[in-house]
Structure 1
Amino acid sequence: MEGKEEDVRVGASKFSERQPIGTSAQDKDYKEPPPAPLFEPGELKSWSFYRAGIAEFMATFLFLYITLLTVMGVVKANSKCTTVGIQGIAWAFGGMIFALVYCTAGISGGHINPAVTFGLFLARKLSLTRAIFYMIMQCLGAICGAGVVKGFQKGLYESNGGGANVVQPGYTKGDALGAEIVGTFVLVYTVFSATDAKRNARDSHVPLLAPLPIGFAVFLVHLATIPITGTSINPARSFGAAVIYNKHHAWKDHVSVLYDLKIRNFDIHPI
């Protein structure tokens, strides 16, 4: 019996790197990285900086291309029973985020969303230089992705809303704004949690594939808010679709604050 107790004691010492889930797991060493500088001009001379921007462009391009084609396939059907429906649209958005974050995380961080980029900038995870560059490339990618979809089937695209985000009948602009704020918070909160290096160091025994919870969060938010706004939670997604669709009502809800200020009295109208 004494020999068995000794074996247990030696085994516990031998495998001391195993940490239980809970507060004792916080004893692992972790060094917080320094905040990113506000301006980092040296980045402009680095190829990795431009490679990351290209990755963001391509990821947002593919994101809009696949998701808007899915939306078009649903809205053109006479019977929703013959299509993937709202659940399929939500899976398309969530699945593409999962795949694209997985592909680009090692190159650019896999933002694919100006809201995510802005949140990480506020947390000092990247410089203002890189944040602005990412946002520009994301918006350009979204415009190109929506443009390719329109090029495939222009008539269908224009007659079925072009995948643009608008407030749906039965909801107010306040409802839509609230839904988008909460949905965007869920996404950004999930991104911060899934990519938290301190958590990974503390709970390294718990395997976590960061793109999975991020994509699943996008899926769940779309299930909840597609009936309200069509779901954006991504300014580049809304901007790209609105630019290519380019109809008055597609812009009206985006600039509703300007309308409330009666900008129309000065004969200023969205495109």
Structure 2
Amino acid sequence: MAKDIEVGGDGSEFHAKDYHDPPPSPLIDAEELTKWSFYRAIIAEFIATLLFLYITVLTVIGYKSQTDPAKNADACGGVGILGIAWAFGGMIFILVYCTAGISGGHINPAVTFGLFLARKVSLVRAVLYVAAQCLGAICGCGLVKAFQKAYYNRYGGGANELADGYSKGTGLGAEIIGTFVLVYTVFSATDPKRNARDSHVPVLAPLPIGFSVFMVHLATIPVTGTGINPARSFGAAVIYNQDKAWDDQWIFWVGPLIGAAIAAFYHQYILRASAAKALGSFRSNSNI
């Protein structure tokens, strides 16, 4: 337990609420495998990722259909890039809100990876979460193709590909920075210290997470179509199954995983100074 002391505008001190930093999750927690809550969380991740891909890929395909020059459609019609960004950000907001109390609302292997590096989840949970997320993404895109096969193939299946005119290094950098923004927001919005100080933070956590997804999409849709979620990119590539989507697939895994790792390190060891706290605790114990 730790106590946080803050200084008011008049120089007086007051104590914020006590808070507990949760203990690190064990690397391998075999006991999880015996609990129904663990499997319920995996199912929640699967369904959430399925719904996420179903709604967002339909939005992308619908926009391309509504603005198709071959149909003499209005180039300014449809939801536009702004609408696509809102679809992705809005769905993350909804799904994180719905699943946070069950699985933590990851819906993204990069988020799971970042939380694993910070010892927020065990290796067993992280691996099965990622498997559930990837399978859910495949099923979500499969539903879109089943309902709108002609449109799905004609308009690219919502697959992430590096846009013409951009180098692979640029695409990789966009994915790294975009995922850093997302995972950094996840850490900040779920920080137990903030939860203890401000009772409204846990309720509002899905909002900044969804809004970060929205903002990143605005910036990177023209570059990579915005991945920042390996399951989203993988599921679309599996169902669309075209060479370009597979050739660029590594960008949408390597970039997000690097971005998530940097965000985990920055939040845990720079902002929260976990390494300094651990060293200070070690020195205190050695003097006893």
Please report the TM-score for the alignment, with normalisation by the length of structure 1: 0.84
Correspondence 1:68-83 to 2 at 5 A = 68-77=57-66, 78-83=73-78
**SS of equivalent to 2:204:** coil
2:246 matched to which residue of 1?
251
How far has the Cα of 1:197 moved from its partner?
A: 1.0
1:173 matched to which residue of 2?
168
Name the amino acid aligned to 2:220: T
- CA deviation digits over 1:224-245, x for unaligned, max 9? 0000000010000000000000
- Report the Cα distance in structure 2 between the residues aligned to 1:112 and 1:207, rounded to whole angstroms: 18
Q: Does the alignment pair 1:228 with 2:223?
A: yes
Aligned counterpart in structure 2 of residue 34 of structure 1, from 9, 14, 23: 23
How far has the Cα of 1:83 moved from its partner?
A: 0.2
Name the amino acid aligned to 1:217: S
- Report the Cα distance in structure 2 between the residues aligned to 1:74 and 1:154, rounded to whole angstroms: 16
1:14 matched to which residue of 2?
none
- Report the Cα distance in structure 2 between the residues aligned to 1:49 and 1:174, rounded to whole angstroms: 38
Q: Does the Cα contact within 8 Å between 2:190 and 2:202 map onto a contact in 1?
A: no
**SS of equivalent to 2:26:** coil
- Report the Cα distance in structure 2 between the residues aligned to 1:114 and 1:37, rounded to whole angstroms: 19
2:236 matched to which residue of 1?
241
Q: Does the alignment pair 1:61 with 2:56?
A: no
Aligned counterpart in structure 2 of residue 164 of structure 1, from 148, 159, 175: 159
- Report the Cα distance in structure 2 between the residues aligned to 1:188 and 1:211, rounded to whole angstroms: 13
Q: Does the Cα contact within 8 Å between 1:113 and 1:135 map onto a contact in 2?
A: yes
1:89 matched to which residue of 2?
84
How far has the Cα of 1:25 moved from its partner?
A: 6.1
Name the amino acid aligned to 2:212: A
- CA deviation digits over 1:1-51, x for unaligned, max 9? xxxxxxxxxxxxxxxxxx969995664312221100000111111100000
- Report the Cα distance in structure 2 between the residues aligned to 1:24 and 1:68, rounded to whole angstroms: 52
2:33 matched to which residue of 1?
44
2:280 matched to which residue of 1?
none
Count, aligned residues? 239
Please tell me the root mean square deviation across aligned C-alpha atoms, in Å. Answer: 2.1
**SS of equivalent to 1:81:** coil
- Report the Cα distance in structure 1 between the residues aligned to 2:99 and 2:34, rounded to whole angstroms: 21
Q: Does the Cα contact within 8 Å between 1:25 and 1:202 map onto a contact in 2?
A: no
Identity %: 71
Name the amino acid aligned to 1:109: G
- Report the Cα distance in structure 2 between the residues aligned to 1:232 and 1:68, rounded to whole angstroms: 12
1:116 matched to which residue of 2?
111
**SS of equivalent to 2:47:** helix
Correspondence 1:89-238 to 2 at 5 A = 89-204=84-199, 209-238=204-233
Name the amino acid aligned to 1:57: F
Q: Which has the larger radius of gyration?
A: 1
Q: Does the Cα contact within 8 Å between 1:25 and 1:203 map onto a contact in 2?
A: no
How far has the Cα of 1:74 moved from its partner?
A: 0.5
Please report the TM-score for the alignment, with normalisation by the length of structure 2: 0.79
Moved more, 163-172 or 89-98: 163-172
Query: CA 1:52/1:161 → structure 2, altered by over 3 Å: closer, same or farther?
Result: same
Q: Does the Cα contact within 8 Å between 1:63 and 1:97 map onto a contact in 2?
A: yes
- Report the Cα distance in structure 2 between the residues aligned to 1:128 and 1:189, rounded to whole angstroms: 20
Query: CA 1:26/1:73 → structure 2, altered by over 3 Å: closer, same or farther?
Result: farther
How far has the Cα of 1:55 moved from its partner?
A: 0.1
1:262 matched to which residue of 2?
none
Name the amino acid aligned to 1:61: L
Query: CA 1:38/1:221 → structure 2, altered by over 3 Å: closer, same or farther?
Result: same
- Report the Cα distance in structure 1 between the residues aligned to 2:116 and 2:227, rounded to whole angstroms: 20
- Report the Cα distance in structure 2 between the residues aligned to 1:158 and 1:42, rounded to whole angstroms: 44
- CA deviation digits over 1:70-122, x for unaligned, max 9? 00011112324220000000000000000000000000000000000000000
- Report the Cα distance in structure 2 between the residues aligned to 1:24 and 1:241, rounded to whole angstroms: 54
Query: CA 1:25/1:204 → structure 2, altered by over 3 Å: closer, same or farther?
Result: farther
In the alignment, structure 1 segments of 5+ residues that lack a partner are 1-18, 257-271
